[in-house]
Amino acid sequence: MPKTVFITGTSTGIGAAAVRLFAQHGWQVAATMRNPADAKFQDLPNVRVYALDVTDAAAAPRAIQQAHADFGSLDVLINNAGYGLVGPFEAATDEQIQHQFATNVFGVFAVTRAALPILRAQQSGVIINITSVGGRTAFPMNSLYHATKFGLDGFSESLWYELAPFGIQVKVVAPGGVATDFATRSLQMTIDPANDADPYAGQVRSVLAAFNDRSGNASSAEQIADVIYTATTDGTAQLRYIAGEDAKGILGAKTQMSEAEFSTMIKQNFGLNG
């Protein structure tokens, strides 16, 4: 019997690449997305598309149970849906903060809670949380995004212990930069960086320019999907998978440098003074 993977946020990017990769390996795939009309998986017979906005906590159990009933199994959950909120913390609205956490954190909680009774009853399963290099180190002007991804990283590490006795593996895939819609269509800003009257505009422009300069180092969504597939199928209890040479480089540097050296390097890399 083929195994079944349930993936959130599969309209574009890493989620869409993961759907294709698992389907090509013969898995049954529950591809979930906010708007099923965005699905581009008509060529993949073992993929079913379900509507799921992860901020709708009531919708998560419905989608999980429907996929479980349709495929007759549920083996792996990949919590991938997420987006970045960039810009100064001071300028973020309550709504922006709540929506960032509702998507990147509470959405993961809702879908994971919906899947756990099934995985625990069968005494097997893998839960993959897509965090970020930004769940292990922080860059300027991304405080709220980092808060969500650091949160998810700690959540996952604790859950790793809690679920091991039930045969459930928890894993984190932490990508560096990835060429997807993340930095374009999906990105939300707390200020308009073109507004010279804003006291943070200069910093934001420097940070965005630095990210843009490094976009040539980005991994492809397919490369990250490969890491997700390895994490799912390697049969080990490894918790974290750092995905992308850029992510490995920066996290390696963090372990080798003092805090002062590291923060000086980050300021230089992002063109920040002071």
Ligand X SMILES: NC(=O)c1ccc[n+]([C@@H]2O[C@H](COP(=O)([O-])OP(=O)(O)OC[C@H]3O[C@@H](n4cnc5c(N)ncnc54)[C@H](OP(=O)(O)O)[C@@H]3O)[C@@H](O)[C@H]2O)c1
Task: Return the DSSP state at 85.
Answer: E
Which residue, 126 or 225, has its beta carbon nearer to ligand X?
225
Please count the CA atoms within 13 angstroms of the CA of 107 that sit on its side-chain side: 30
For the bound state, the minimum distance from the C-beta of residue 268 to ligand X, rounded and expressed in Å, comes to: 21
**C-alpha span between 69 and 243 (Å, rounded):** 33
For the bound state, the minimum distance from the C-beta of residue 203 to ligand X, rounded and expressed in Å, comes to: 20
* Active site annotation includes 149: yes
For the bound state, the minimum distance from the C-beta of residue 19 to ligand X, rounded and expressed in Å, comes to: 10
Q: H helices then E strands: how many in the chain?
A: 9, 11
Which residue, 14 or 170, has its beta carbon nearer to ligand X?
14
Which residue, 14 or 163, has its beta carbon nearer to ligand X?
14
Q: Which of 145, 200, 229, 241 is catalytic?
A: 145
For the bound state, the minimum distance from the C-beta of residue 15 to ligand X, rounded and expressed in Å, comes to: 5
Phi, psi angle pair for 242, to nearest 5°: -85, 125
Q: Are strands 47-51 and 168-175 parallel, antiparallel or unpaired?
A: unpaired
Give the nearest residue (CB) to ligand X: 13
If you search the block for the tokens 């422009």, which residue do you land on?
A: 205
Enter the tokens of residue 91.
Answer: 């300028």
Q: Which residues bind ligand X (CB under 6 A)?
A: 8-15, 33-35, 38, 52-55, 80-83, 103, 107, 130, 132, 175, 177-178, 180-182, 186, 221
Residue 252, class by beta-carbon neighbours within 10 Å (0-12 exposed, 13-18 middle, 19+ buried)?
exposed
Which residue, 99 or 120, has its beta carbon nearer to ligand X?
99
**C-alpha span between 124 and 121 (Å, rounded):** 8
Q: Which of 3, 50, 83, 149 is catalytic?
A: 149
Annotated catalytic residues are: 145, 149
